[in-house]
Structure 1
């Protein structure tokens, strides 16, 4: 569903604000028809968008996983209702949502992190009367969902090994299981006939292909290409076709140093009258692989940056625009040119910021710590269906963003060391996911990310264009011995490239670090050890031409489920959870801003000169 845009033909109402919420741990809401009237009883006020966990911690919802009913009211002006389709667009509901309007079920969606739309037209109260909106959000997961959940009844989770790995709340992943309406909620009014989708593909030679979908095949469409000053640089003839080919002269390529954005202005016409219009920004850039290297606009690419989490104090995984700006500014300051949306799609506003500020993004579906319960491929089909659904929704949403340079289709499969892996079923599973992704978008490379168990032999390395490796030699294995970590990492990098011949990126490496903890000798959790760990890894990987990037884990400390090896937070951040730098941040800044493998055009604009820490001597 297109990103909300208000213009002469479209109207957007923002439903952000204070809603009512009622948790439903006993699953009574459906039977008692909580959707039919105002929520009563044990209700609370919650800010939307936002996760319920930290906002309502003192109300018992900090660790709550399950159903929670959200309620608000709104009015639509009578003039808007006339001859318009009225849609509800929810930016994300983690992880399942059912929607009622005025007591009538109007739609549902399965899968967190992604936007979805519900047609409200027939269920609206007319004449501008109050409308009663209820959304039941369920944050529980299963072995068939992405991400997967923990089933306490399953044999997989009733072993002695699992007892030591158990997290509270129980998860298969090392980040907090937030729930709620975590991104913007809007009412969108469009004409009866309207544009439903736009796909833009542009080449450095100025060739532009635009594919337009609309509710009517008979109405004509017209495309205008505008530059950043709003000047027309290309135009199509009006046509009822879905596909348009245009050409512009004197291309301004999009790059991190010059994130130039064009606009495809798409109009839907009834005769000579415009009935709908949408403006889609895009950049002209090309990415390709050759000889074990990856190139952006024909210049060899090296990625500096981080794995991140979309997570902040109090708001949890809720939409937080000031936080988005702050994170990008800190990455600009430190010399990063990229990040990965680990381990799920981020708010689409992050992608739009990446476009404007010149950051390169590896866009990841929530296939984190993926586990298989059978060596029969057919048994895996329910998970495969949801995996493909997540990939399609992600590509449908983010396909036009020049900042998005790769699709990441899985992160650390078999982290839990299930029995059924590294076999024909898992090999076929990942090949199907790879082929499906390439069928939807052949212009971007596909990344698969492995953990260390099977090293260069991991079956997931066969189903990708570029290999991501998460490695923690010297932390989780043979702790403190960084010389041995360097040996192990170097050996594996060489063996992996020799076997697969694909570009490789270290997508995670880092050490938990308590800010302010220091030592003169190698001591885990100190700021000195974090610095030594990160720079030992950089020393190894940067000498190989086939290694095209290094993403430190993590950009900032983040909340996790409770566990004996986590003290509230995963502390691997280069910045604290509230975005204050640890000492390694200054060393990384000095290194990355001078690192010769990063092409000048692949660096976002540096911060302005002023009274900065670097000015103090």
Structure 2
């Protein structure tokens, strides 16, 4: 083991001093030692030494984060210590293989972790070491073995803790998205100098930490001409990031040739509108990192897999990681069906359940790709982010698995704990959705125990075993009016792990089904509680409302003929069914229709209730006379067999419905 010590003498010439280098094991015993005389006349000098360690105890990540102490002492002729430095020192070998992923000490070691911002509610960045320790404990409990330190240099506390607990780190500088102002095509000399300085300080301050795996030189500088307007504005061709990236890559190599450089990209391989061009930046660093939000900002959650395969095929020799993925989620906002309508990634409709759905779908794809050297979800904790009006918060990025105060853990946190942690985990989802809209619902439990049993008000609903991705689902559970106590019991090695939630179903909702068609999150109504779109089969969700964007809220709309404009502004259209579970009996069905565009469109359809025509050859354009006007039709129906099947069957154009009310 080679050591280089930088020495400085304020007294001038140095004579008669000795440098002693020692490697101390965890118990304080000397494992290796070297001593040499010092003699130099300049104010600064460098001394080198070699420590020979026949058999090293390796730093093995979270499995065995063994640390030595490296001690350097300067002694005078009488043996008095003139100066000394001591630091933790882990011995390990890290490799990044384009096919096998991350390799630690010769063995594949899958890195799974989170992105981490160091701010928190009421403190901003003025956090204490105890705050960082608490955050690390929260992440470790979830099963994290790696952290991406975003998007700036973090303090020594997180590095020391990572060394101690075996957490592999991605460090990076704050070169994020934009590096010029206005129409400038080149970075200023001052910015270039600042970026080089920050990279130098990042490396020099953290290069001796065993936990540090790579040096990140930039994040998402590949927007090209798709750069969001809130970041900058320019005309013509966008600035080229490649010269700056090349310079930073060279700088990192000169400072620390032992570690690879890394880069997180946003945009290569994504589907854009015609005319959008993005630069290919990934080859400018040793390691690839992809920030990909399939199921949130674009695409479907499962499409992340094929997108990564395409990137891997593009550069088969470069090790690839996923540096960001995920979705927003708010514990005060809920959906009854994650497929009920489009997600509002820039606005308020960000239900907790949808966040869990995206993570479940994304992780299924990521876990199946061993060539990924690491994956970091976005993000460990909610954090401050201006121009956002999302979920139930202002200027907060809601993608954290833990709330901004770092106390409340969202359901998705427990999905990863069940999949990543060796600790027995049983967690009933939907615990924050206490006042339920529907009497019949699925119950989902994240459980990594061999078998899990669910109880409703003390009655067993059955046992499920070996659930895929540790997600156990009891379908079509019927709640009772009043309080519903759900308990889940997971058994492992003779020990029972339990979880308990309480849901409430009002007497009114026990006899009523109100569906806000086409809505992922049900709107507030003047007549009572609606559930989000549910029980449907087929059709496509749509909305009359213009969606939100960064810094711009959704535009509310007024619809004639109703006091519930927000409810009927969304719709489902096509050829589709609603198969609604109901107790046998007679019901009154009220359907609300709104033509979303120009009145007079060719839209004629029938509605069948349990295969009998309830509304025949309905011409919505003729009935409404004007677009964005509510039209109501009602009928009675007898339900036998516990199901009401409403079939919206097109004759000309597409069938459509905006709201469904079914009352006993």
TM, length-normalised to structure 2: 0.55
Structure 1: where are the runs of 5+ without partners? 1-207, 596-608
- Select the residue among 405, 414, 426 that pairs with 1:586: 414
Q: Distance in 2 between matches of 1:395 and 1:614?
A: 45
The residue that corresponds to 1:507 in the other structure is 323
Structure 1 residues 374, 561: closer, same or farther in 2, change over 3 A?
closer
The residue that corresponds to 2:31 in the other structure is 233
When Rg is computed on C-alpha atoms for both structures, the one with the higher figure is 2
Matches within 5 A, 1:47-446: 208-216=1-9, 218=14, 219-240=17-38, 242-255=47-60, 256-272=62-78, 273-292=80-99, 293-372=101-180, 380-415=188-223, 416=227, 425-446=240-261
Q: Distance in 2 between matches of 1:555 and 1:421?
A: 38
Pairing 1:570–2:377 present: no
Q: Which moved more, 1:463-472 or 1:390-399?
A: 463-472
- The CA RMSD over aligned residues, in Å, is 2.9
Q: Which moved more, 1:223-232 or 1:268-277?
A: 268-277
Residue deviations 1:213-247 (CA, integer Å, cap 9, x gap): 12137353221111111101111122326111111
Partners of 2:185 and 2:238 within 8 A in 1: no
Q: Distance in 2 between matches of 1:355 and 1:375?
A: 44
The residue that corresponds to 2:361 in the other structure is 536
Partners of 1:450 and 1:458 within 8 A in 2: no
Q: Distance in 2 between matches of 1:298 and 1:472?
A: 32
Partners of 1:371 and 1:414 within 8 A in 2: no
Q: Distance in 1 between matches of 2:213 and 2:157?
A: 16
Q: Distance in 1 between matches of 2:259 and 2:77?
A: 38
The residue that corresponds to 1:70 in the other structure is none
Greater relative CO (CA pairs within 8 A, separation 6+): 1
Q: Distance in 2 between matches of 1:428 and 1:562?
A: 30
Q: Distance in 2 between matches of 1:561 and 1:508?
A: 19
Partners of 2:390 and 2:398 within 8 A in 1: no
Q: Which moved more, 1:411-420 or 1:263-272?
A: 411-420
Pairing 1:557–2:410 present: no
The residue that corresponds to 1:473 in the other structure is 294
Partners of 1:224 and 1:266 within 8 A in 2: yes
The Cα shift of 1:454 comes to 6.0
The residue that corresponds to 1:498 in the other structure is 313
SS of residue matched to 1:238: strand
The Cα shift of 1:532 comes to 0.9
- Select the residue among 455, 459, 472 that pairs with 2:280: 459
The Cα shift of 1:615 comes to 4.8
Residue deviations 1:370-416 (CA, integer Å, cap 9, x gap): 33459998754332221111010011110111111111111111553
The Cα shift of 1:422 comes to 9.0
Residue deviations 1:261-280 (CA, integer Å, cap 9, x gap): 11111112333432111112
Structure 1 residues 498, 327: closer, same or farther in 2, change over 3 A?
same
The Cα shift of 1:296 comes to 1.2
Pairing 1:521–2:304 present: no
Structure 1 residues 330, 384: closer, same or farther in 2, change over 3 A?
same
Partners of 2:179 and 2:187 within 8 A in 1: no
TM, length-normalised to structure 1: 0.59
Partners of 1:283 and 1:402 within 8 A in 2: yes
SS of residue matched to 1:533: helix
Structure 2: where are the runs of 5+ without partners? 39-45, 272-277, 344-349, 424-491, 501-664
Residue deviations 1:545-582 (CA, integer Å, cap 9, x gap): 22122211111111222444473221111111223211
Partners of 2:98 and 2:320 within 8 A in 1: no
Q: Distance in 1 between matches of 2:398 and 2:152?
A: 20
Q: Distance in 2 between matches of 1:349 and 1:381?
A: 32
SS of residue matched to 1:578: coil
Q: Distance in 2 between matches of 1:436 and 1:454?
A: 28
Structure 1 residues 562, 289: closer, same or farther in 2, change over 3 A?
closer
The Cα shift of 1:289 comes to 2.4
The structure with more helix, counted as a fraction of residues: 1
Q: Distance in 1 between matches of 2:314 and 2:247?
A: 21
Partners of 2:327 and 2:399 within 8 A in 1: yes
Structure 1 residues 347, 379: closer, same or farther in 2, change over 3 A?
closer
The Cα shift of 1:423 comes to 8.5
Structure 1 residues 371, 239: closer, same or farther in 2, change over 3 A?
same
Partners of 1:422 and 1:459 within 8 A in 2: no
Structure 1 residues 338, 576: closer, same or farther in 2, change over 3 A?
same
SS of residue matched to 1:437: helix
